[in-house]
Chains A and B, each alone.
Chain A
């Protein structure tokens, strides 16, 4: 990584020369990891020019997510910071430290796959180049109430960082993870491309919250793939107010009976912000329940894309699956694209989806105006109420206050 700091370096991003330089820098890593990286690199090369007319990219200005040849890897070492470990029950560590100190624990990450919802190329690139991120695992039966806090920062101007994040909960353990994505300044065009693999074993319970407030020059790629075991439950809440463009792919696979998957997200857009969200709820076993709510409030020329699919496999009888997308257009230039999808192969199912897009209800506005509240405040109040449905899913009062404050600040700016 260090040698790439030289701007005169001829090894352009995405070339084979670049990767062999990178591999040279990482020669101290265990052999299996080197093999894993080069396999991923080969897949990246293979997919480089494929999938041009892909449904998974419908409505997306794909060029905004292209990784430019002029990009360079970030040289910062501390872009991922973890809260101090208060419980000695869990293993909570930075990925680079793990590779250095106890790489063997990581050896099963070679089996991890991505959500595979379109940006395959970037996913493989991330797998090949990641040397940042966090690792969390809990022992069997551990109930940890103190949240694990991870702070991600976007890198320097025109730099990119690749992260791999791993959460593994052993049977009947429970935990909460809170992640933040922030920036040091308001103008640096930094990029973060990260993967998150969550594995929940039987009866495990996880609440994961992401609060994304990166500066409005940054680009984010997020690949989240969740595997839910028997009777496990996962609540995933993501709050997006920042970044210039964010591509977020989330897949929750209910692999065994009785799994419960909730996925809630909100995006508050302004300026030219783009939030490109692709989700999949996969029911691969019977008696599972999934629920998704995606809410987007859009100002100025901001744009949101919601593309979600509920997939119910043939074996998944007694399925309950719900999906809701609500978009609030606060400005006539804003755009909301919605692609809610269902693929149902079993017949013992209760399944529905709904998508609505509209502006603020005249009646609601009139009610507030007639009580002397000025138009702008009234609009803000209604929008906050609209987003509140997602915010209140965060079961941590301090964090809820923090999120509300963040959203209000964004409205005033």
Chain B
């Protein structure tokens, strides 16, 4: 058990902000000129500009999906958002090159210098441009490419152009179209055949300008037999007006490769976090999404795997915690498209105060397939009487020897458990925290060590003041 009192928790986390001078600013609102401006600043090739402009058209054409999603989407005012801001600097290669004020921000964020050195390669995103990027020489030697989308499409088109926008087409949904029009920042990664990275690649995303949506674009290609783990963690400063975050993440797992993508999302609770994440798994490849949503006002995120090759495996492990004023609308999609593919979804949600957690799932097995399997488990925990939870899975099964099982339970922390622990000297709050940590414990264990510690701390923090 982790005693919350032993840690010095900065409850004002996310309250930091420094004035930053922006060399490039696309202004407020969205139109074709803004898209041209972004493309021009990034010195992009003609085809990328065309791609962006077409995406803009799609975005404007598509309605908000409020026929199934929450009406809260209507509160996003697309006209007051800045779609591009960047410091006029090239991504820095060494720590010394990073400007002092940026370093200062990281200091306040509490990323220790030592940990930074320890990390395999840090792609720290400060606003929409990579402010700091340090890649271990070893990575380069092995032929791993770890760059920003701009660099990726400019320097390695032969690798990235083929898959860019292929796993998630522009027209997939309104927000993937928006991202395709204005994307900047993110990571493009290529792992050569047979290369197995022992340490995870990491990216820190930061938002640091009022009303500034962040539209990062990530594409990871794991070539045959390679292995990679990618981690992203998010914190954002607290702002008074709503902020939009709309990312697109595409994973390509070629034959026999293994890709693991870990997210800890802790945006401040005025952020709309509308993210499209999807992977494509070829023969015997394994893709695993580990997704933890704690922050934001509204998160809509359903990581998916298209199991395209025989014996491919997809997995989604998801934890959602919604406190008052938050709606975590998360889930998973598993599209089986080859024989003997398997998938596993485990989703746990906790609703505190007036918070609302929703699970939306999709599992599809068409009729020409044989011996596919899916297992889905959704468990929801309700802490207060005003908390809400929903479950909306959609399962379609045809074919020979395919099997699907789905199970969901909803429960509250029992008074017996709390009483038992109070008898042993724990306060009601501590007892509740312990129960909640126990509820998600088997999932948290799947996270890398430093993340699981951080997560338990975050959960303890969120639980503060929820009882009594």
Contacts and interface: CB of A to CB of B under 8 A. Distances in A.
Nearest to A359: B401
Contacts of A354: 405-408
Contact of B412 (A59, A340, A349): A349
Given A55-B68, A355-B395, A332 B410 contact: no
Contacts of A287: none
A314 B386 contact: yes
A59 B397 CA distance: 12
A407 B67 CA distance: 40
A338 B400 contact: no
A345 B385 CA distance: 8
Contact of B398 (A53, A332, A340, A346): A332
A80 to B, nearest CB: 37
Interface in A332-357: 332-357
B408 A353 contact: yes
Interface in B61-82: 67-68
Nearest to A311: B390
B404 to A, nearest CB: 5
A357 B397 contact: yes
B392 A341 contact: yes
B385 A340 contact: no
A332 B391 contact: no
A329 interface: yes
Contact of B388 (A329, A340, A345, A350): A345
| Interface size range on A against B | 35 or more
Contact of B405 (A58, A335, A348, A355): A355
A352 B392 CA distance: 13
A344 B388 contact: yes
Contacts of A332: 367, 398-400
B114 interface: no
A340 B382 CA distance: 19
A352 B403 contact: no
Nearest to A54: B67
Contacts of A338: 393-397, 404, 406
A335 B396 contact: yes
B322 interface: no
A345 B412 CA distance: 12
A178 B275 CA distance: 51
B387 interface: yes
Contacts, number: 123
B380 interface: yes
Given A356-B405, A356-B406, A340 B393 contact: yes
B411 interface: yes
A371 B399 CA distance: 28
B383 A353 contact: no
Contacts of B390: 341-344
A335 B366 CA distance: 8
Given A336-B397, A349-B410, A351-B409, A357 B403 contact: yes
B406 A335 contact: no
A376 B385 CA distance: 53
Contact of B406 (A53, A337, A340): A340
Contacts of A54: 67
Contact of A329 (B68, B394, B397): B397
B393 A339 contact: yes
| Interface size range on B against A | 35 or more
B105 interface: no
A341 B389 CA distance: 11
Contacts of A352: 407-410
Nearest to A332: B400
B404 A355 contact: yes
A357 B393 contact: no
B384 interface: yes
Nearest to A335: B398
Contacts of A359: 400-403
A352 B393 CA distance: 13
Interface in B366-382: 367, 380, 382
B264 to A, nearest CB: 26
Contact of A342 (B367, B391, B397, B404): B391
A344 B67 contact: no
Contacts of B394: 58-59, 337-339
Contacts of B383: 347
Contacts of B389: 342-344
A347 B408 contact: no
B408 A340 contact: yes
A69 B393 CA distance: 36
A356 B376 CA distance: 10
A347 B395 contact: no
Given A333-B398, A334-B398, A338-B406, A355 B393 contact: yes
A355 B407 CA distance: 6
Given A53-B67, A332-B400, A353 B395 contact: no
A327 interface: yes
B101 to A, nearest CB: 46
A339 B359 CA distance: 12
A65 B127 CA distance: 52
A104 to B, nearest CB: 43
B391 A353 contact: yes
Contact of A341 (B391, B397, B400, B412): B391
Contacts of A55: 67-68
Contacts of B408: 340, 342, 352-354
A358 B385 CA distance: 37
A314 B409 CA distance: 18
Contact of B403 (A333, A335, A356): A356
A91 to B, nearest CB: 42
A143 to B, nearest CB: 37
A303 B460 CA distance: 47
Contacts of A348: 385, 412
Nearest to B357: A344
Contacts of A334: 398
Contacts of B398: 329, 332-336
B406 A358 contact: no
A334 B380 CA distance: 32
Contacts of B399: 329, 332
28 contacts: A314-B386, A327-B397, A335-B396, A335-B398, A337-B394, A338-B393, A338-B406, A339-B393, A339-B394, A342-B408, A342-B410, A344-B382, A346-B385, A349-B410, A349-B411, A349-B412, A351-B409, A352-B407, A352-B409, A353-B407, A354-B406, A355-B395, A355-B406, A356-B406, A357-B403, A358-B403, A359-B401, A359-B403
Closest 8 CB pairs of A and B: A358-B403, A347-B382, A332-B400, A357-B397, A351-B410, A342-B391, A338-B395, A355-B406
Given A333-B398, A334-B398, 14 more contacts: A55-B67, A59-B396, A327-B397, A329-B399, A329-B402, A332-B367, A335-B398, A336-B397, A338-B393, A339-B393, A340-B406, A343-B388, A355-B405, A356-B403
Interface of A: 53-55, 58-59, 314, 317, 327, 329, 332-359
